[in-house]
Amino acid sequence: MPEPLKNLYSRDLIDQMGAHIQRVHSNFDARAFAHQASHNLEQLELKQRSEQIRIALDAHLPARFEEAVEILLAALHPDTEVELSDKSMDPDGIRGWATMPLSDLVGLRCEENFELALSVQKALTCRFSSEFGIRHLILARPEQAMAELEKWAHDTNYHVRRLASEGCRPRLPWAMQLPDFIRNPAPILPVLEPLKDDPSEYVRRSVANNLNDIAKDHPDTVAQIASTWMTGASKTREKLVRHACRTLVKQGHSGAMAALGVGPAEVETAPLTIHTPVVPFGSALRFSGAIQSTAAREQTLIVDYVLHFKKAKGGTAPKVFKLKTLTVKPGERVVLERSHPIRPITTRRYYAGVQAVEWQINGQPQGRHTFELTMTDTETG
């Protein structure tokens, strides 16, 4: 079983942070910092651990913001343009997950020296990511912060370009939302425009995720951007746009479909075969079905499936899952099958009874077919 993510913030990480800071600032009390930062650590979740480390740092660094920042910068790892997903700290300095509490500390104190706080977030993101900490600055002074992010979109370091996009995502997971940008995403668009053909997939994927965030509140805006960007698009930009439109495709948004070159599906579908009409909780729903093209030309089919899960007070709620995108010739018949596990997850509660499943082809549902989910008294809670 994989190690819980929260354990990235361990006593060992805290000790290393303290040692690096003490190395560049001999008056830093690394022992007292570690004692405060690791208090009841095992009982805390990931963000709580990061916050406790931030509070301990703030307590043991000099009170003057400029002096505290100078020390933190001196303690950072010298590498600024390496793949950081599997990089932890080493004898050369702080990097990786240890930078997140530093970024939050600088973000929360940004008004003490806003220009300096911006430059420090830029430095920190080159050692992991400042996508959470930068949001304090965007919320405090949106115009000034976004003007800087527009500049960062042209930076030579791909970590900085990625922060330009990731930091202003309106609905970034685990982070504070940006309500003004949820209402009006216009300030974000000049940041994303120069990044649509970025040489780094890491950056392009962030752009796609930002647009997907925007699509949840402004679907027509993203559909129009998709249409514009698909004109003369390279393969890498096409991939970005498809990923950006994933929510709109699941919703069957006609403008997004048209931007992707996908029209209404011309098909005939046979009724789904439900191979497990009764599904014990913890096992899998298995189903299959045939789709035949009725078009006179080759066509693209985006085939998803929708599970209609029973709700606590009756009725069902739909959830769309990706299945396959395929190109079919005139008259071609394809058979697709799927096994979908129905087991405990943290994001959904299941209820016994009749549920339903259906194909969704190019955004259009193709008819429901029912199955029964059975659960024991223990499983239903």
8 Å CB contact between 363 and 257: yes
Block residue for tokens 């805390």: 44
Residue-level pLDDT at 235: 97
Sign of CA dihedral 171, 203, 123, 118: negative
Q: Would you state the pLDDT for residue 367?
A: 87
Summarised one tens digit per residue, pLDDT across range 211-269 is 999 999 999 999 999 999 999 999 999 999 999 999 999 898 999 999 999 989 999 99
Check if the beta carbon of residue 70 is closer than 8 Å to that of residue 98: no
From CA 95, how far away is CA 129, in angstroms rounded? 9
Asked if the model's pLDDT at residue 183 lies above 60, the reply is yes
Compare 144 and 83 and report the one with higher pLDDT. Answer: 144
Crossing angle between the packed helical segments 201-215 and 235-244, to the nearest 10 degrees:
30
**Backbone phi and psi for residue 168, each to the nearest 5 degrees, phi listed first:** -105, 15
CA distance 196 to 205: 10
Where does the pLDDT of residue 82 fall: very low under 50, low under 70, confident under 90, or very high at 90 and above? confident
CA dist., res. 236 & res. 201, Å (int): 8
Both tokens of residue 295? 């078009």
> Can you give the pLDDT at residue 85?
62
Q: Taking residues 150-178, what's their average pLDDT? A: 97
Token look-up 């070159």 returns: 261
Per domain, the residue ranges of the chain are: 5-259, 267-380
Report d(CA 324, CA 302) in Å as an integer.
6
What number of H helices and E strands is found in the chain? 17, 10
pLDDT number for residue 378: 67
Is residue 381 pLDDT above 60, yes or no?
A: no
Which long-range CB contacts under 8 A does 339-344 form with residues at least 24 apart?
339/284, 339/285, 339/286, 340/284, 340/285, 340/286, 340/305, 340/307, 341/283, 341/284, 342/279, 342/281, 342/282, 342/283, 342/284, 342/285, 342/373, 343/281, 343/282, 343/283, 344/282
pLDDT at residue 84 in the model: 67
Strand partners, 278: 372
Per-residue pLDDT tens over the stretch 323-371:
999 999 999 999 999 999 999 988 889 999 999 999 999 989 998 999 9
Interatomic CA distance for residues 14 and 57, integer angstroms: 10
pLDDT at 49 over 70: yes
Q: Indicate if the pLDDT at residue 309 is higher than 70.
A: yes
* Helix boundaries (H) for the chain: 11-24, 30-37, 46-60, 65-75, 99-108, 114-125, 134-140, 142-152, 158-166, 179-183, 189-192, 201-215, 219-230, 235-244, 246-251, 254-259, 377-380
Evaluate whether the domain defined by 5-259 bears CATH number 1.25.40.290: yes
**Residue 379 burial (CB < 10 Å; 0-12/13-18/19+)?**
middle
Average pLDDT, integer, range 45-74: 98
Comparing C-alpha atoms, which of 10, 1, 2, 3 is closest to residue 42?
10
Domain 267-380 - what CATH class? mainly beta
Q: Which residues, 6+ apart, have CB-to-CB distance to 268 below 8 Å?
A: 291, 292, 294
Q: How far apart, in whole angstroms, are the C-alpha atoms of residue 301 and residue 299?
A: 6
